[in-house]
Amino acid sequence: MSSEDLIIRQYRNRIRKKVLSTMLVGLILSVLVFLDIQVGSSSIAFKDLVDAVLKGPAGGSSASFIVWEIRLPMTFTCLFVGASLSLAGLLIQTITNNPLASPYTLGVTAGASFGAAIAITTGFALFGQIWLGVSLAALVMALTVSAFIFYLGSKRSLTATTLILVGVIMNFFFQALQQYLQYRASPEIAQIISGWTFGNLQRSSWISAGVSSTCWTIVLLISFCYSWKLTALSDGTERARGLGINTDQLRMFVFTVSSVLVASAVAFIGTVAFVGLISPHCAKLLLGDDQRFLIIGSSMVGSALMLAASIISKLMSEGATLPVGIVTSIVGVPFLFFLLLRSRE
């Protein structure tokens, strides 16, 4: 066997392993989707669950109502919010070359949440729809924070750790502004804003599932088109420039589409911490640094993580649903601490 044939065989073996790993994650994700639909405050037998899904929303039974009006919207919102936050985290980590970067640690999520809080407080609606107004306000603030982070990273040449410290400052800043809005708002509005900080899936609907899935699908397709550029950029800025890639333009564009993903997630269920940080690292352990596989793999891991957190939140709080953001924070804080220690080494 020639050396060329050996290289081709090794390449095909690596691709086969990545495909099998992706299929395994997909299988786990399918199981979690089923479990998330079944688990809840009202117990539904397996047979009744299957009948409710097959008969559709017009099934007429209580199981059909629960499944189609409550659990399916919640599950699909959870699925695509997790995918969106994870994909945004992967893109941000790639363009900043910073393993600690994510929408949450850089303050983008906090900015989007503050934008949503402004829209809720003022009753801002677009075309008569409050959810459109909340989404737009969240997007504007997410873009503003992303532009500021991009400026600091590219013009001021801040280190990876310093950028995270800037993100901590941004989180505190927007948290203070959000608390001020709560203080000035009526008790009802203040309660809604307060619930926004926990990442509550009980606000899910078919609209939230549709919007988040649409935004994720569009950005996913765009990311695939730029996958080779992102792979080159992950090997270093100079290497990417040597291949003729306009790195500044690519970074600004990716920051923009990442902000769209964050806004589409935050606008409906609020702040969910650390999904965008943990999922890309888990996907890289399985799939390596090839963005062609990481883009879909990271999204799937993010969905699986969100669904697992959703299931745990239902089991931990009998008769109610614990905000999913609490569960992801409990898992994410030790993981961030581990990454900080490893980066110091």
Phi and psi angles of residue 126, each rounded to the nearest 5 degrees, phi first: -120, 125
| CB proximity list for 66: less than 8 A, separation 6 or greater | 40, 42, 44, 52
Structure tokens at 73: 């919207």
The confidence score (pLDDT) of residue 343 equals: 58
Interacting residues of 86 by C-beta distance below 8 A, sequence separation 6+: 275, 276, 279, 280, 283, 298, 299, 301, 302, 303, 305
Q: Evaluate the CA torsion angle 246, 167, 112, 294 in order and state its sign.
A: positive
Confidence of residue 164 (pLDDT cuts 50, 70, 90): confident
pTM for this model (two decimals): 0.89
Q: Per CATH, the architecture of 71-344 is what?
A: Orthogonal Bundle (1.10)
Query: Which residue matches tokens 């409710």?
Result: 52
Helix, strand, coil tally for the chain in percent (to 5):
80, 0, 20
CA atoms of 281 and 262, how far apart (whole Å): 18
pLDDT given for residue 24 in this prediction: 93
Residue 344, pLDDT > 60, answer no
The SS3 call for residue 129 is strand
What are the residues whose beta carbons fall under 8 Å from the beta carbon of 303, sequence distance 6 or more?
Answer: 29, 78, 79, 80, 82, 83, 86
Confidence band, pLDDT 50/70/90 cuts, at residue 199: confident
Total residues belonging to the chain: 345
Q: How confident is the model at residue 173 (pLDDT cuts 50, 70, 90)?
A: very high
Secondary structure (DSSP) of 134-197 = HHHHHHHHHHHHHHHHHHHHHHS---HHHHHHHHHHHHHHHHHHHHHHHHHS-HHHHHHHHHHT
Measured distance between the N- and C-terminal CA atoms of the chain, rounded to whole angstroms: 42
How far apart are alpha carbons 181 and 198 in whole angstroms?
16
Ranked by mean pLDDT, the top range of 85-89, 191-195, 236-240, 287-291 is 85-89
Give the pLDDT confidence of 91-100 residue by residue, as tens digits: 999 988 888 8
Q: What number is the average pLDDT over the span 101-113?
A: 87
Say what the pLDDT of residue 238 is. Answer: 83
SS3 236: coil
Closest C-alpha among 177, 191, 175 to residue 271? 175
